Structure 1
């Protein structure tokens, strides 16, 4: 568990680190820059380098088995951003690791988990595959063997009810885990299709991260979306935010009763432009 300055969560959990840039929203990736610094500091998780064309020093995709079960040891409830330093749906994150992450989330219903991906198509394909739930069940049993009776009985019971194999025998998949939020990033109108993939993904809460917002989103459909995060870019190469783009999203969120979190206007520093939109802040969170 790592404390974080990200305003819309409480802690981060990184059983996987590393990624590759795939769209314009990745151009000034904060995680890539942070990984470079952490590698230079000797941090064990960040010693694998990525492809210099799309990634960088310390940002090669790596699975950290020693971090996989961390949330099982956190007794108090947390709001947890999963893989803040990676993308769970990256092609080089193996299915066994994804199944293990889902198993840990199933075994810890006291926590609320937030998953954010730019690879919404792969995640939708994974979470609509009945075979994946068999892999999650296997991962649950492996964790139970590893902890040998040291987990709360009520948590184990909740996980096993959710992973009941009789649902798969009917050719169905289990209902979404009630403590898992799934979101996708949309930085410009070219990527509004990611929301369509999110809509076909089983999720208790679906959300969009329009950060950094690089243009208006006239094609964005907010149907079946519970929460929208909006923010401008920060850093020395930041691309300015037009508040009219945010106003349009705000008005549509209000009309559809979608929770809105306006994180920042952006600038050279994250707080340079403040957080006000027409004289007020927007700190709405979805019901949970």
Structure 2
């Protein structure tokens, strides 16, 4: 696995391939486009995971468990922050409990790494880790919240036993209102990228930033994306990462990484 270009992690680890769309936040998922490219490059596990709908390639719901990649973290000797399944969702209904247990075993065996698990299905995640009846100190659990329509995911996340709970407000495509971040340790905020990106509004970011200050939640601003704070379209690089005149790279305060 190559080093990640995602600002808040070091490396991605993808023992699962394939997914399905659940809400509007999935519409321009970067993993769908990446899956298309990997299939064209002949990477077998990404073959046939997409279907064409309204002139757009989207997930068809096929899920593949890739046992060959399970051992990768053992080979990484230096500590890393590892994003688990950047190309899928570990808690998709198509992933077996048995395979999730195998992934948990790898994470338990490699305490030198920090694992970041992000899901749009936090209810299954909370149920799974509650039944485990043990908390791994190197595993962070997170969920995606792109607008007010899905803020109920936060309650499921809050109920998941974890040393660190985090929320990815990316792509932020609507207001999330006055959210409760009690017992949420980290918030990542970002706008959408790509030619079909939907705008991000500064006041939506302000709501999250203010909640972070109230609940002592670390704030990480990943990017403006395709739309700048002036509501104009330009490249992601041109829009940059500054918010309130600074680059926000906060991590959960309890961790020394």
Q: TM-score, normalised by structure 1?
A: 0.81
**Corresponding residue for 1:195?**
154
**Corresponding residue for 2:115?**
113
Point out where structure 2 has 5 or more consecutive residues left out of the alignment. Answer: 227-233
Corresponding residue pairs, total: 245
1:64-83 alignment runs, 5 A limit? 64-83=66-85
Secondary structure of the equivalent of 2:94?
A: coil
CA–CA separation in structure 2 for the residues paired with 1:89 and 1:270: 30
Query: How far off its partner does 1:78 sit?
Result: 0.8
The structure richer in strand per residue is 2
**Corresponding residue for 2:204?**
245
CA contact (8 A) 1:17 1:59 kept: no
Q: TM-score, normalised by structure 2?
A: 0.90
The structure richer in helix per residue is 1
**Corresponding residue for 1:37?**
37
Secondary structure of the equivalent of 2:209?
A: helix
**Corresponding residue for 2:124?**
122
Bigger radius of gyration, 1 or 2?
1
Secondary structure of the equivalent of 1:197?
A: helix
Secondary structure of the equivalent of 2:187?
A: strand
Q: Root-mean-square deviation (CA), in Å?
A: 1.8
Q: Which runs of 4+ in 1 moved over 2 A?
A: 48-60, 268-272
Query: How far off its partner does 1:44 sit?
Result: 2.4
Deviations along 1:61-95, one digit per CA (max 9) or x if unpaired, are: 11111101111121111110000000000000011
Query: How far off its partner does 1:217 sit?
Result: 1.2
Q: Does 1:235 align with 2:235?
A: no
**Corresponding residue for 1:276?**
242
Most deviating of 59-68 and 229-238:
59-68
CA contact (8 A) 1:48 1:61 kept: no
Q: Does 1:204 align with 2:204?
A: no
